[in-house]
Every structure is written in structure tokens, then in C-alpha cells.
Chain A
Amino acid sequence: MAHTTDLTPRGIFPRRTLYLLLGLALFMPPIVLLLQASTGDESFCGSWCPRMFFLWREGSSLSSFFFGWLRSWAGVLLVLGIIGVTFFFGRLWCSHLCPIGGTLELANRIFPKKLSIPYGSIPAVPVRYGYFAVYMIAPAIGLGSLACNYCNFAAVPRVFGAAFGSPADIAYFLRTAGIINLALILLLGVMARGGRAYCNFLCPVGAIDGLVARFSSRFGKRVRIDLHSCSNCGKCVSVCPTSAISNNEDGYQIDQLSCMPCGKCQEVCHDQAIGYNKQECPSRLRTQGVAI
């Protein structure tokens, strides 16, 4: 039983909702506090864009590529900050502060549970990294781009803006791309069980974050399952919004490519088998990445 004392007590993220609301205040209309206070931007489209600077476009020169970094310098810093936090603490940005995923999750909480769409049967990792591969490669080979036409960082804030009557934000939804984005955030966000299917399937920042979380898992704190304490009840599986927990011949395991440390699994674990900690004993605390 000694090993269970190593685990962090349950309810390690009791104030997560407050963090999500803080993320909304910092990044979302009507105030967009952090964006206004820093660069004067009113949305992620501009200096704060976190999704495009790392894309190489067909015909780009090295200077134009890095000019993109300069143009989106706040977005570059944001992504580097996210990666740094993830390296040591897991995907805390995604679970606690991301205003995009946070909005969808908070909206999902007031959406009728019975009407929520379960996406758990769709393996998220191959979908996410299939999409991410095209996201990276398509502009480089001149096929096109997924960057702006399917952008959650553009669409979700504009829902707020449109709700507050901003003409430019209303204009965003008067076109096919806007309507499709609205449908995506409704179907994969607001109406999805747990509210995180968009994050899980289509967010490129989340895809990068997942890779960092997976490959730095041994260095930092992650949500892990103590197999010796686990009674295999499976309750954690049903509450995981990213379907990151699976059962195989070794017992229940958490896929760090998908896990956002939201703590929902920890809350329902009556065995106190789930903790948020460093990988102190690999034989006891199992974590797994799914290779694709």
C-alpha cells in the first residue's frame, strides 16, 4: 500500500472551471484582455496566431518562413510556452487554459447529456495525426491548406463576437468556411460527449502538444494509473473526454498522446489508483503511447 501514498490526492484540479473562465477572459471577446493589453489585437488572427507560423508553404524562402514567425511572434511565444508547460506538467494548457477547448467544454456542460454525441469508438490518434500530417504537408507541396479554412482559433472567438453583434465577426459566418467551422465546433465541441472531440481530432496545436506530452512523459508530471490499486472497474474510461484510457492485457493505461490532465478520471476513481505525478516506478505506474 505504500505506493499509493506516492500518488497525489484526488481532486487535484478542483478549480479547473475557474482556470477555464480565466482563459476566456484573457483571450475571448468581448474583452480579449491579454491580446488587447499586449499587441492590441482583437483575435488570434494576427500576431497571436498559434497555428500557421510553423507551416512551410510551397515556394517559401527561408526568410519568408521566419518572417511568418515575426508576424505571429505572440503566437510563437504562446506555443513555446505551451510546449514548455507540457514538457514538465502535461497538457495543462489544453485542459485548463485553452479558451477554444475551454469554451467548447463549458458549452457542452450545459448541453443535454442525453443528446451528446459519443465519439469514443473512433480512435482519436490516427485521425488526429492523419489530419495533422496533411495540415503540415499540404501547403508545402502546394495542395492547399487546412490552416485558415478549418480554424478553431478563428471560429470560436467569432462566435462570441457575433453574439455581441460585431459586424466583422458576423461576416465571418456569412461564408461557406464560416458555416462549416460553426458546424464543426457544434458537432465536435458543444454536442460532443465531454466537449473535446474537436481538440482530440482536429486541433493542430493539440497534436503538437500531444507529441510533446508523450515523448517527455518520463520527465514530467502526468496523470498515471497505479495498476496495483486499480480494481479494473472501468469508470475512468467512461468519463475521459478524450478517450485516452484503454484496457489491454496489462490493465488500464493512459495514452499520453491524448490525455489532457483534467482530473475527471481521478474524481471517479474510488480506488485512488489514479494520480498526477512523475513516473517514479515504471513497473507500477503505467503509461502508454500509441504508435501510428
Chain B
Amino acid sequence: MFKWKTIIIFALAVGVSCGAASYRFGDSAHAIGMLSNKGGKARHGFMIKSGKEGYTLVMTGVVLPPYKGDVNIALEGSPAMRYSIYDSKPIVDLGIHRRPKLEGSLLSGVESGDKLALWVVMTPESDQDLEGLFEENAAAAPDPSTASELLSDANHEGDLPLKLSFYAADSGKSLLQIPVVFADLQADGGSNGAHH
């Protein structure tokens, strides 16, 4: 009897876990990228679903040699988004390790081998109802230098799809571009390994 109970509970746990593993929330995504002078490389894009009130993109990556300098970060393309960029850093920085500093959308003091962890919180620009949420989020940031309200330049890019781009601040050279993919709007939209 005990064994049957154990087996049933095990099977239930497997079933629920399979459902949890396969379901994607669609309002957040993680992508890994490598910044380099040669245009960088994204392991995969951000996979999200359309129609959400807001989105969170988590970008982790590393800076490949020999790049050194400041980096401009921009969310470009359509649909237009309002967004804020936050970097992940210790609350009490002991100063043991040097780390790049994010001011608005400019990441300064980047060196080869640096590891980046950035959070991009974005809301569709056309959705007026969401401005409160966005402003609330921006207001939650105690240090204005680490976050700013930005608007993706959809006109500049025409109808090009949305992407998170990294440019060398001095030359404007592209260091990395990570596509933001609305999986439900893609004909072949499906899993591509994004795990957030």
C-alpha cells in the first residue's frame, strides 16, 4: 500500500514538474552573449510572448579581448519600447574587484574579461496604462545614475525587429546584438534553449 502511495505521489510530482518545465511565462527571458570587436556572438535570442504588460530581459555575458572602453547599450527596432537598464552589483561594494559602471545606458570602464549582468525592464510604448508600472519601477531605484527611462528608437531602425545592441562608445562599432524574439508571432517560433 505504501509503495503504491509513493509511486502515485512520485508520478504526480513528475507530471506537475513536466508542466512547469515546459510552460514559458513569456514576460521574461535570458540571453547569453559575448561582446567583441568582431560584432560579438549571442548564444540565443530573448524569447518572449507578445501581449504582456511588461517584460524583463536578463543579459549575461563576457567581454572578449582585446576590447576595452565604454559601451553604449540600446534597445532598437520595432515594436517601440520604453525601457530601463539596471546592472547587477553588490549593495555594499567592498571594492575588491573592479567592475564596469552603468550610467543610464552607458557602461563605462569595460575591460576584456569583464562579466556583465544586465536587467532590461521594458514596456510597450503604446500601452499608456503601463506607464504607472514603469514609473513605479523607475522610482524604486534609489540611485538615479544606475537607471534611466529610455525609449527605443523604432523610427531610426524602421521596421527592423527588436534587438538589444551594444556599441563601442568611441567608434560606434557594433559589439553585440541580441534579437528579442516574440515567439508567438514567429512562424517557426519555438524553444531555442532560452531558459528564463
Chain B residues near A127 (CB, 8 Å)?
9-10, 13
Distance between B190 CB and nearest chain A CB, rounded to angstroms:
10
Q: A46-B115, A131-B17, A168-B87 are in contact. Are A138 and B141 (CB under 8 A)?
A: no
- Which of B23-31, B73-81, B168-176 lies on the face that meets chain A? B23-31
A40 in the interface (beta carbon within 8 A): yes
**C-alpha gap A183/B30 in the complex (Å):** 21
Contact status A45-B121, CB under 8 Å: no
Measured in the bound complex, the distance between the Cα atoms of B22 and A42 in whole Å is 29
B97 located at the interface, meaning its Cβ lies under 8 Å from any Cβ of chain A in the complex: yes
* Those of B125-154 within 8 Å (CB) of chain A: 133, 137, 140-143, 146-147
Given known pairs A134-B17, A171-B119, A172-B119, the reply for A30 and B140 (CB within 8 Å) is no
- Any A CB within 8 A of the CB of B91: yes
Interface pair A125/B97, CB less than 8 Å apart: no
Hey, which chain A residues are within 8 Å of B143, CB to CB? 167
A189 to chain B, nearest CB (A): 18
Is A9 in the interface zone, CB < 8 Å from B?
A: no
Task: Answer whether A31 and B13 are a contact pair too, CB < 8 Å, given A134-B18, A150-B20, A290-B6.
Answer: no
| A31 B94 Cβ-Cβ under 8 A | yes
> Chain B contacts of A164 at CB under 8 A?
91
A182 to nearest B CB, angstroms?
14
B160 within 8 A of A: no
Name the A residues within 8 Å of B25 (CB-CB).
Answer: 149, 175-177
Please report the total number of B residues contacting A with Cβ < 8 Å.
Answer: 54
Measured between alpha carbons, how far is A57 from B195 in the docked complex, in Å?
Answer: 11
* Listed stretches A90-98, A139-147, A191-199, A269-277; interface member: A139-147
Which residues 29-68 of A sit at the B interface, judged by CB distance below 8 A? 29-33, 36-37, 39-43, 45-47, 57-59
Taking a contact as CB atoms under 8 Å apart, the answer to whether B6 and A171 are in contact is: no
**Please, which residues of chain B bring their CB within 8 A of the CB of A170?**
137, 140-141
Does the CB pair A135–B196 fall under 8 Å? no
CB <8 Å contact, A177 and B28: yes
Q: Given A40-B99, A46-B60, A148-B195, 5 more contacts at CB 8 Å?
A: A123-B5, A131-B13, A135-B21, A146-B20, A175-B56
A-B contact pairs, 19 of them (CB 8 A): A29-B90, A29-B92, A31-B91, A36-B96, A122-B9, A123-B6, A123-B9, A129-B13, A130-B13, A131-B14, A131-B17, A134-B17, A135-B21, A166-B91, A167-B119, A170-B140, A172-B56, A177-B28, A292-B10
